[in-house]
Structure 1
Amino acid sequence: MINFNYETDFKLVNPSLRAEWISNVINEEDCKEGEINYIFCSDDYLHKINVEFLNHDTLTDIISFDYSVGKKLQGDIYISIDRVKENATLYKVDFKDELARVMVHGVLHCCGYKDKSEKEVEVMRSKEDYYLAKLS
């Protein structure tokens, strides 16, 4: 089950479409859908989590906590709407497109993809682009 939670005034437009899209990503990655919680929040909210749980004193657009067991995906995906807005402006893309990229990025982490090395980043970007094309 894909759940959307809000710790900010932001609300997803057409959440059922987004949930179906994420479910399709999970299925296509040959994983099973458990409970995936998206938590949309502010920079301050996510910064506190970043410091408390990861010991990183920086702003970020997303933090994924992966609780998956085998191929059954479970996790909490925190997304800073403030960061997504700023990154959309910085990269000159539409907010909804940047938000979709961050959302799929989080679930791809739960599917086992990493983004620490250049090669991992390349694979992650390729997967993001592939699934973003399917959202249109």
Structure 2
Amino acid sequence: MLNFFSEDVDFDLPRPLKTKKWIKKTSESEGYEISDLNYIFCSDEYLLEINKQYLDHDYFTDIITFDNSEEDNILEGDIYISVDRVRENAETFHADFETEMRRVLIHGLLHLMGYEDSDESLKKAMRAKEDEYLIQF
């Protein structure tokens, strides 16, 4: 099951059905099956509180991914996305909002599949994967 929710923002994901198919196809192409995956769209302030409470970080971020998977190759989790931060990043990187949102959606999925971005080489590899899947949208 793949779900989209809005927490404290009035936000509707553009093209939700196409996006769900794209996310499922992406996971399958990496050898994963989605069991229970929730994308929760929220504000900067909402995600900041999650960042402080669960990760002990006191800064804004565009995404926080919680992996609840118990079996290999079965994806379960909650992915919180700050709509405010995605909008600001789109402006900063001269991208349109929908494209930047799709990048963040796939970024969280890649984290659940084991991709990391903790150093520059890993960030570069993850960005290449994001680009690969963005083209497939």
Name 1:70's counterpart in structure 2. 72
Which AA in structure 2 matches 1:92? H
Shift of 1:62: 0.3
Please tell me the root mean square deviation across aligned C-alpha atoms, in Å: 0.7
Task: Output one character per residue of 1:61-106: Cα deviation in whole Å (capped at 9) or x when no partner.
Answer: 0000011221101110000000000000011110000000000000
Determine the C-alpha separation between the residues in 1 that align with 2:84 and 2:110. 22
Name 2:34's counterpart in structure 1. 33
- For structure 1, the residue ranges without an aligned partner over 5 or more in a row are none
Determine the C-alpha separation between the residues in 2 that align with 1:14 and 1:111. 24
The one of 102, 113, 120 aligned to 2:122 = 120
TM-score, normalised relative to structure 1: 0.97
Name 2:44's counterpart in structure 1. 43
Bigger mean CA offset, 77-86 vs 5-14: 5-14
Which AA in structure 2 matches 1:111? M
Give the alignment of 1:58-97 within 5 angstroms: 58-68=59-69, 69-97=71-99
Between the two proteins, the alignment pairs up a number of residues equal to: 135
Determine the C-alpha separation between the residues in 2 that align with 1:67 and 1:29. 18
Percent identity between the two aligned chains:
48
Shift of 1:34: 1.0
- For structure 2, the residue ranges without an aligned partner over 5 or more in a row are none
> Per the alignment, in what secondary structure is the counterpart of residue 87 of structure 1?
helix
Name 2:15's counterpart in structure 1. 14
> Per the alignment, in what secondary structure is the counterpart of residue 65 of structure 1?
strand
